[in-house]
Every structure is written in C-alpha cells, then in structure tokens.
Structure 1
Amino acid sequence: MTQDDFDLSAPELSEDDLLVVDDPHFDRDSVALVTGAASGIGRATAVALARNGLTVVGADVDQEGLDDTGAKAEELDAPGRFVGVETDLTDDEDVAAVIEAAAEEGALRYVANVAGMQHIASIPEFPMDRYDLLLDLMLRAPFLVSKLAMPHIRENGDGVGAIANMSSVHGHYATKDKSAYITAKHGIHGLTKAIAAEGEGSLRGFSVSVGYVLTPLMVNQIEDTAEERGLSERQVIENVMLGQARTKEMMTPAQVANLFTFGFSGHGQHLNGADMLWDGGYTTTYE
C-alpha cells in the first residue's frame, strides 16, 4: 500500500451516493436542522435530506460554505429546499435564532447535530481555550439545540421527530492526543440517551458513530497527527487510522449522511437512545 492509494480530498457528492427512502414525513412541510452544514458530513447530510424532499435549514459560521451546500442541492435536483443560516453555535442568541428560523420554515421534526472540530495534543500540553471551545461546540451546543428544538417537535400534531448526534469511534474508546474530542463524544452518548428518556417514544434520540471519514477536517487531522507523532502522513493513514480497522477504506461523507437519513425515517422507529456504530471493525475486533 502506498500513499498514492489514498485520495486525500473529500469526494464530490453525486445522486447515486445518496439513499432515498419513502416516508410520510419526508416532504417540504417537514423541516430538518443540520449543524455544520457548510462542509464535510454536515453538507452531505443536508443535501441527502433535501434529496429526500425535506426542507433543510443548515447552520454554520461559514456563509460561503452554506451557499455552496445550497448550490450542490440544486445541482442534484433535490426536491426539498435548503436554507442556510449563518450561525455561531457557541453563541446562545445565534442558536436560539436558528431554531426559530427552522420552525418558521415548517414543522421542525429532525435535528442533526453534526458540527465539530479537532485539536491534537497530549493532556499536559492541551490548551484550555481549545478545550473549552471544542466542548462548547460539540457538547454544550447540541444540548442547547436539543433543549430549544424539542418543544417545537412536540408541538407537531403527532410529535414524531428525532434528534441525531454525530459521535465517533472515539465515543467508544480512547486514543492518545484527542482528550477533548473523546470527552465530547462520550458526553454526546449521554445526551442521546437523555433525549430518548424524555422523548415519550415519538421523539427519538440516536447517535451515529463511524471511523475515519474523508472530509476536509480529516485531511487537516492527518497533517496534525503526523506532526504531533513524528510520523509521515502515509504512516498516519496506514498505521494510526486504518491499522485497527478490518475494512481498509475510509468512509465517505455521503455514506455517513445515509445513516442519518435512515435513522430519521420510519425505518428507524426502534432506534432510540442507541448508537449506530459503523466503524469497519474498529471497536469490535483486535489483533
């Protein structure tokens, strides 16, 4: 295996990549809020849900990226609509505003808390300002989004809806130099279970855990990990990222987005408080 075997750029979305399912709530009258919608998994999830006919409100600090997400949805002839709302998820007023914006577009039923970041450092060297920012974005913000969205979902006639949280294999185990990320992902599992406990069955909570996904964030992480550990980028990919996996291939953003689509649909009726673990064998096998 050589470095040339890996394309270190996020793949372009196509119609054939995205799962489309029949569901009575997958129409323009139903709204899905997707955070981190300007790139990567968030963009793919927003486009996938628009392809399934939903009205999608995308939240991100990157307005230009949100515009590109909307353009991609149009390019793929998505029957649903995409509305981008520039949002700082670490600002409570911004979070409240995007929830209200989503509710104004129709019946808010679905939330995908996808936005994330990464910082690579050992615990003794971890800067607290980065720790605080990461936890604010990846744990506090999903809690606040859920807190504000749940009343709107309950106001719908049947109360049917779901809040899905982006987790990771790092929500199941720990590796070195990612302590803040690991803390956030373990916490997101607790939030997911709490949503399910209070959802009364019709309002579900679930999380999605995957291994390494070829996103712009991942490309940066490969570079950061290589520098932190004194390895080549090839060694990071082969030994650190894919070394423990049985499926020797990174997931694509579209493959992750399809898990959100399935989980939100009626096919996911019994997915409640649980985690969808699609990790290529990372956490279930070992040498």
Structure 2
Amino acid sequence: MSSESFDLAEPELTAEDLLVLDDPHFEPDSVAVVTGAASGIGQATAIALAANGLTVVGADIDEEGLEKTVDLAGAVDASGDVRPVPTDLTDDGDVEAMIEAAAEAGELRYVANIAGMQHIASLPEFPTEKYDLLLDVMLRAPFLVAKFAMPHIRATDDGVGAIGNMSSVHGHYATQDKPAYITAKHGLAGLTRSIAAEGEGTLRGFSVSVGYVLTPLMVNQIEDTAAERGISEREVVEDVMLGQARTKEMMTPAEVANLFVFGFSRHGKHLNGGDLLWDGGYTTTYE
C-alpha cells in the first residue's frame, strides 16, 4: 500500500456522515456534555449529538476551536444547539462549573469524555510532568466529570443516561513510547466499569476503542513517532499505524462520533460497562 492511497488531512464533516437515531431522550431538553469539543473526535461528537436534537455543552480550553464547532453544527443544520463552555480540565473548579452550566441548560443525561493528548517518548526518557498532565486530562478529569455529572443524571425523571469514555486500542494492548497514554486508557476501563457498577442499570457507563483516526492529534503524532523511531513518516503510517490492522484505512472523526450516538441511544441499553471495539482487527488478529 502506498502512502498516496489515503489522505492525511482531516476530512470535512458533512450531514451525510452523521448517524441520526430516533430516541425519546434525543431532544432539546436533554443535555450532553462533550469534552475536547474544539477539535477532532470531540468536535465531531458534539456536532453529531446536536444533529440528533440534543443540547450539547462543548467543553475545551480552546475557545476559538469551540466557536468553530458551533459554526460547523450550524453548517450541517443540526437541530440541537452546541453551547461552548471554555474549561480547563486540570482545574477542579472549572470542571464543576462546566457541569453546573450543563445542568442549568436542561436535563443532563449524557457525557462523552473525549479530551486527549499525546506525548511520544520511551519510558526512561518520559518527562514526569508530561506523564502527570496526560493522566490529569485523560483519567483524572473523566473521573471528576463523572463524579459531578452522576447526581444530575440520577435526578432526571427516569434516571436514564450514560457516560461514554474515549478509550483506544491502547486500552487493550501496549506499543512502544506511549507509557502515559497507555496507562490512562487502561485506567479508563476501570472507571467505565465503576460507573456501570454504581449506575443501577439506567445510568450506564461504556467506552469506545478505535485505532488511528484522522485528527490533528494523529497527524502531529506521525512526525513525533518518526523522529523517536528513526524512520520515515511514510513508514510510521504504513508499518506502525496500519501495519497490524486488517482494515487498511484510518477512521474519520465522524465515524467515531457515531459510536457515541449509538451508545447513548436506546439501542445501546445493554451496553453497560463494556467497550465498543471498532479497531479494524488491531487487537483481535496477529501475524
């Protein structure tokens, strides 16, 4: 497979890309929180949930990116609103205030913990402050968001809702030079199951695990991985990223967003404590 067989630019999101489902709770009085909503998977998920009629509180530290998300939701004629709430996920007060803002916007029922970051380095060379930051954003923040959101979901008339956590194939196995990311994603499995254990069946917890997705985070990661391993960027894509997969193309942010839509919907009512593993064969095949 040549590197010319796919485009490494993030694809433009259109209305036709989005899964829209009939669900009694997919309406403007129901609120969904999406972290990392200023770009990539978080942005696509915020737009997809708005396209399903929900009021979406988009949380991110990137205020300009949040405004772009609002504009993109309008461009696809989403029937629900995206309300930007600038949030530093490493600040406990910010996280709590963001959840309170979501609760004031309607009945808070859904949370998509998607915000993420990456740093490429071997374990002995990994900066401790980077490790702490990645774990704060990708494991501690989802815990805090769930902690503050669960009482509001329980307080709805029927207690129906769900918290979806963005995991990864790296929540199932480990590769080189990503120790903090891998630790965070493995930890999310425990948080997801804890939410399910305490949710009494109506408040569900689930995770979504995918391989490589065409996002700004992924595009930046190619250069870092090439430098760390001393190989070309083309080799990173073909051998490191897609080498183990059986489906030889990267997912789009909209395809991942649709998994959250399904997981939150009535069609996902038996998805509780489990993981939507949409990985093109990364973790289930070997050669």
Same fold? TM cut 0.5 = yes
Residues 123-148 of structure 1 deviation map (CA, whole Å, 9 limit, x = unaligned): 00000000000000000000000000
Q: List 4+ stretches of structure 1 deviating above 3 A.
A: none
Alignment-derived partner of residue 171 in structure 2: 171
- TM-score relative to the length of structure 1: 0.99
Alignment-derived partner of residue 72 in structure 1: 72
CA distance in 1 between partners of 2:268 and 2:206 (Å): 10
**Paired letter, 1:49:** L
Residues 13-50 of structure 1 deviation map (CA, whole Å, 9 limit, x = unaligned): 00110000000000000000000000000000000000
1:3-42 superposed matches below 5 A: 3-42=3-42
Aligned: 1:52 with 2:52? yes
CA distance in 1 between partners of 2:164 and 2:124 (Å): 33
CA distance in 2 between partners of 1:5 and 1:63 (Å): 34
C-alpha displacement of 1:2 = 2.3
Alignment-derived partner of residue 219 in structure 1: 219
| Matched residue count | 287
Aligned: 1:156 with 2:167? no
Residues 56-81 of structure 1 deviation map (CA, whole Å, 9 limit, x = unaligned): 00000000000000000011110001
C-alpha displacement of 1:210 = 0.2
Alignment-derived partner of residue 127 in structure 1: 127
Aligned: 1:243 with 2:243? yes
Q: CA RMSD in A?
A: 0.5
Q: Secondary structure at the match of 1:121?
A: coil
Q: Secondary structure at the match of 1:124?
A: helix
CA distance in 2 between partners of 1:99 and 1:12 (Å): 30
Alignment-derived partner of residue 187 in structure 2: 187
**What residue ranges of structure 2 are gaps of 5+ in the alignment?**
none
C-alpha displacement of 1:276 = 0.4
**Paired letter, 1:58:** G
Q: Secondary structure at the match of 1:206?
A: strand
C-alpha displacement of 1:186 = 0.2
Q: Secondary structure at the match of 1:246?
A: coil
What's the % identity of the aligned pairs? 77
Q: Secondary structure at the match of 1:85?
A: strand
CA distance in 1 between partners of 2:164 and 2:51 (Å): 18
**Paired letter, 1:81:** D
CA distance in 1 between partners of 2:14 and 2:224 (Å): 29
Alignment-derived partner of residue 259 in structure 1: 259
- TM-score relative to the length of structure 2: 0.99
**Paired letter, 2:32:** A
CA distance in 2 between partners of 1:2 and 1:205 (Å): 39
CA distance in 2 between partners of 1:276 and 1:78 (Å): 25
